[in-house]
Amino acid sequence: MPQKPIICTIDVVLLCLQGSALHVALLKRDKPPFEGGYALPGGFIHPEEDADTLDAAARMLNEKTGIASPYLEQLCTFSGAARDPRGWSISIVYYALVPAELIKPDRAPGLQLQPVDQLRTLPFDHKEIVLAAVERVRSKSSYSSLPVYLCGEQFTLPRLQAVYEAILGEPINKVSFRRKMDELDMLEPVEGALEAGRANRPAQLYRLKNQYRNRLSLSGRAMTANSDH
């Protein structure tokens, strides 16, 4: 008897900030298993169509949410006999960070944002997957440009600092923050652009340098909350 093939899927953990809380995008499942439940956007690899799993993840994210994320990174692979009632399965998981404005529910019916720190039970092992992605994002954020993907194209330094603080979950000393930004050397001022709607002392707007649009700027040292080291 030929062996049942292993089920090969991709899941994408799409994260954004609402207020100061990290949220994950979930989609209402329209077929079994777990029909009607909210789960990560994902699906089967299409060998005829996808060059590799990164390509498959980008296709799925776009098909299911209408989003083309500039940053999509592999988290890791979840696997086993127990995680999917249909059989032995593999899910190669990717994560993406985007500004909340980019997530448009009219482009993706059944899409819902849930705060990652108050997740209810999810289908399959998706809760475990989301928590692993959040842990990766939090640890990677402390020494990289990763949180910038949560901002829109242009932002002030105080806004960016607030985003870092939201991810790291603690206040950051302003001097350390500015020093870390200098070290990461990833930002450039938008010439002549000041934050709109602030009469007094409008703040300069910044954007990511071109070379960091699709890849991270990394620092050898983690940002320490409220510390100057």
Tokens 């498959």 -> residue: 56
Q: Check residue 48 for interaction with its own copies (CB under 8 A).
A: yes
Q: Which of 47, 109, 192, 197 binds its own copies (CB under 8 A)?
A: 47
Q: Check residue 225 for interaction with its own copies (CB under 8 A).
A: no
Considering beta carbons, is residue 33 or 189 the nearer one to its own copies? 33
Q: Check residue 171 for interaction with its own copies (CB under 8 A).
A: no
Tokens 């842990």 -> residue: 135
**Cβ–Cβ under 8 Å, residues 96 and 61:** yes
Token pair belonging to 132: 């692993």
Considering beta carbons, is residue 55 or 195 the nearer one to its own copies? 55
- 220 contacts: CB under 8 Å, gap ≥ 6: 143
How far apart, in whole angstroms, are the C-alpha atoms of residue 150 and residue 83? 30
Binding footprint of its own copies, residue count (CB under 8 A): 28
Q: Which of 32, 80, 171, 202 binds its own copies (CB under 8 A)?
A: 80
Chain centroid to CA 138? 11
- 11 contacts: CB under 8 Å, gap ≥ 6: 40, 41, 42, 91, 92, 93, 94, 126, 129
Radius of gyration of the chain (CA): 19
Considering beta carbons, is residue 46 or 104 the nearer one to its own copies? 46
Q: Check residue 51 for interaction with its own copies (CB under 8 A).
A: yes
How far apart, in whole angstroms, are the C-alpha atoms of residue 147 and residue 21? 13
Considering beta carbons, is residue 100 or 222 the nearer one to its own copies? 222
Q: Which of 37, 88, 173, 213 binds its own copies (CB under 8 A)?
A: 88
Q: Which parts of this chain interact with its own copies (CB under 8 A)?
A: 3-6, 8, 45, 47-48, 51-53, 55, 74, 76-77, 79-82, 87-88, 90, 92, 220-222, 224, 229
